[in-house]
Amino acid sequence: MPTKPGELTFVAPRGAKPPRHLADLSADERREAVAALGEKPFRADQLSRQYFSRLSDRPQEWSDIPAAARERLAGELLPELMSVVRNVSCDGDSTRKTLWKLFDGVLVESVLMRYPDRVTMCISSQAGCGMNCPFCATGQAGLTRNLSTAEIVEQIAAGMRAIKAGEFGGAAEGEEGAVRLSNIVFMGMGEPLANYKRVIAAIRRLTDPAPSGFGLSQRGITVSTVGLVPAMERLAAEELSVRLAVSLHAPDDELRDTLVPVNTRWRVAEVLDAAWNYAERSGRRISIEYALIKDINDQAWRADLLGADVEEPPGACEPDPAEPDAGLQVDGVPARGRAGVRPAAPEPRGAGHRARHPRPGDRGACGQLAAAG
Ligand code: SF4
């Protein structure tokens, strides 16, 4: 539901829960669930291998599981969570945006992006968002609900299946030039750290070795936040090696209170302290995301302030000019200045700071996918 300017929603409205799915469960919970269905616990590993390693959600392909058990296991533990409303491809088929309809009719989006050396997927963690950033179409629609762990994981599973089948413009698995999904960014709809438990569980499923999970590298995962400081501290204590991206968008509290309303709860200095703490604990560099908005946050003095804010972090940082949502009344025009606030350049410039050209769907900060039916 749309909110008033500046209003924050941290707790998602209550509603019907998505059906339980294998990807919601830890390895132990899967064994218990399978045993409760009257099957031997080792069937949980077989089912997990089908889903996470072979990317198969079709019972007819599960030749290692007795035919009599397949449909029941599939019905109970691999219910259909989402269906494709439409796929839109652009950039010569190297970018594919998918609009999904979830079990309750809610719409979310994900984006696959193929680069010469990798494939990245941008996924949603919430339907809508409660952070209400005025330049973001997702934020304007308010928070509908949190996605379940499995709804997050299934976006990735679907992307992997499309890549494996060669549907995403590249070679299919086993063919020369076949590509694999290597990078995941939590920069779709929603504030991932506001759906903390399910996002962390999803990261475990993505990175746990087979058959518990997909076995992806934690280093290929980026979690974007607008600065929920307690959750950033909690994330630091998880001892993960995922990358943290902080959507700063303004270096001073006065402007950031307006551009990123959660700043009224946690100030710029607190957010940066939490980011540097994460860098120290995780050993990973931090990305500082800054959507340049003409005549709003692109002044030289703000560039200087941003440069001063990020000049001496223990983990270094990468301020990335990013585009605001194209549908809103702002222009993503590069500003002058120093540090990260410089005109977008095709190659990184300078140690620890880089600028980039975003693709459609490859926005530099969270939540710039707004689902529309
Ligand atoms: S920019 Fe990110 S945090 Fe802000 S409203 Fe949009 S999705 Fe939410």
248-290 pLDDT, tens digit each: 999 999 999 999 999 999 999 999 999 999 999 999 989 999 9
Q: Distance, CA 192 to ligand 1 centroid (Å)?
A: 10
pLDDT class of 350 with cuts at 50, 70, 90: very low
189-237 pLDDT, tens digit each: 999 999 999 999 999 999 999 889 999 999 999 999 999 999 999 999 9
Domain that residue 127 falls in: 82-322
Distance CA 96, CA 362 (A): 11
- pLDDT of 5 higher than 50: yes
pLDDT class of 185 with cuts at 50, 70, 90: very high
Q: Distance, CA 298 to ligand 1 centroid (Å)?
A: 20
Q: Are residues 161 and 52 in the same domain?
A: no
How many domains in the chain? 2
Give residue 314's pLDDT: 47
Atom of ligand 1 nearest to the CA of 189: 7
Q: Are residues 211 and 290 in the same domain?
A: yes
Q: Are residues 117 and 143 in the same domain?
A: yes
- The residue whose CB lies within 8 Å of the most ligand 1 atoms, and thus the one to mutate among 7, 131, 323, is 131
- The residue whose CB lies within 8 Å of the most ligand 1 atoms, and thus the one to mutate among 108, 189, 226, is 226
- pLDDT of 322 higher than 50: no
- pLDDT of 315 higher than 80: no
Distance CA 32, CA 48 (A): 13
Q: Are residues 256 and 221 in the same domain?
A: yes
Domain boundary among the residues 280, 304, 322 is at 322
Give residue 1's pLDDT: 65
Q: Is residue 303 part of a domain?
A: yes
- pLDDT of 48 higher than 70: yes
Q: Is residue 255 part of a domain?
A: yes
H or E element in which residue 200 lies = helix 196-207
Q: Is residue 109 part of a domain?
A: yes
Cβ neighbours of residue 178 closer than 8 Å, sequence gap 6 or more: 166, 170, 171, 172
Give residue 292's pLDDT: 87
Comparison of pLDDT for 92 and 274, the residue scoring more: 274
Q: Among residues of the chain, what percentage have pLDDT more than 90?
A: 65
Q: Is residue 342 part of a domain?
A: no
129 lines ligand 1 (CB under 6 A): yes
Q: Are residues 39 and 180 in the same domain?
A: no
Q: Is residue 213 part of a domain?
A: yes
Q: Are residues 122 and 141 in the same domain?
A: yes
Q: Distance, CA 366 to ligand 1 centroid (Å)?
A: 6
225 lines ligand 1 (CB under 6 A): no
Please name the residue whose Cα sits nearest to atom 5 of ligand 1: 139
Domain boundary among the residues 304, 322, 340 is at 322
Give residue 102's pLDDT: 97
- pLDDT of 356 higher than 70: no
Q: Distance, CA 39 to ligand 1 centroid (Å)?
A: 44
143 lines ligand 1 (CB under 6 A): no
Comparison of pLDDT for 61 and 308, the residue scoring more: 61
Q: Are residues 169 and 293 in the same domain?
A: yes
Give residue 137's pLDDT: 86
242 lines ligand 1 (CB under 6 A): no
Atom of ligand 1 nearest to the CA of 135: 1
**In this predicted structure, which of 51-60, 226-235, 353-362 has the lowest mean pLDDT?**
353-362
H or E element in which residue 8 lies = none
Q: Are residues 149 and 45 in the same domain?
A: no
pLDDT class of 34 with cuts at 50, 70, 90: very high
- Contact (CB, 8 A) for 71 and 59: yes
CATH number at residue 41: 1.10.150.530
Give residue 140's pLDDT: 87
Q: Distance, CA 368 to ligand 1 centroid (Å)?
A: 7
Beta bridge partners of 178: 171
Domain boundary among the residues 77, 93, 123 is at 77
Neighbours of 262 (CB within 10 A): 24
191 lines ligand 1 (CB under 6 A): yes
pLDDT class of 324 with cuts at 50, 70, 90: very low
Q: Distance, CA 64 to ligand 1 centroid (Å)?
A: 44
Q: Is residue 97 part of a domain?
A: yes
CATH number at residue 113: 3.20.20.70
128 lines ligand 1 (CB under 6 A): no
- pLDDT of 326 higher than 60: no
Q: Are residues 108 and 53 in the same domain?
A: no
- pLDDT of 240 higher than 80: yes
Structure token pair of residue 170? 């590249």
Structure token pair of residue 11? 């707790």
Q: Are residues 276 and 253 in the same domain?
A: yes
* Global confidence as pTM: 0.87
Please name the residue whose Cα sits nearest to atom 7 of ligand 1: 367
Summarize the confidence of residues 311-328 as an average pLDDT.
44
pLDDT class of 141 with cuts at 50, 70, 90: confident
Q: Is residue 335 part of a domain?
A: no
Distance CA 245, CA 135 (A): 18
Give residue 373's pLDDT: 59
Q: Are residues 173 and 211 in the same domain?
A: yes
* Residues carrying an active site annotation: 109, 366
Q: Are residues 88 and 71 in the same domain?
A: no
The pLDDT mean for the chain works out to: 84
- The residue whose CB lies within 8 Å of the most ligand 1 atoms, and thus the one to mutate among 135, 366, 368, 369, is 366
Q: Is residue 368 part of a domain?
A: no
Summarize the confidence of residues 318-330 as an average pLDDT.
38
139 lines ligand 1 (CB under 6 A): yes
Distance CA 285, CA 279 (A): 6
Best CA proximity match to 236, nearest among 190, 202, 193? 193
pLDDT class of 117 with cuts at 50, 70, 90: confident
Distance CA 227, CA 245 (A): 9
Give residue 372's pLDDT: 62
Summarize the confidence of residues 148-167 as an average pLDDT.
95
- pLDDT of 127 higher than 50: yes
Q: Distance, CA 183 to ligand 1 centroid (Å)?
A: 21
137 lines ligand 1 (CB under 6 A): no
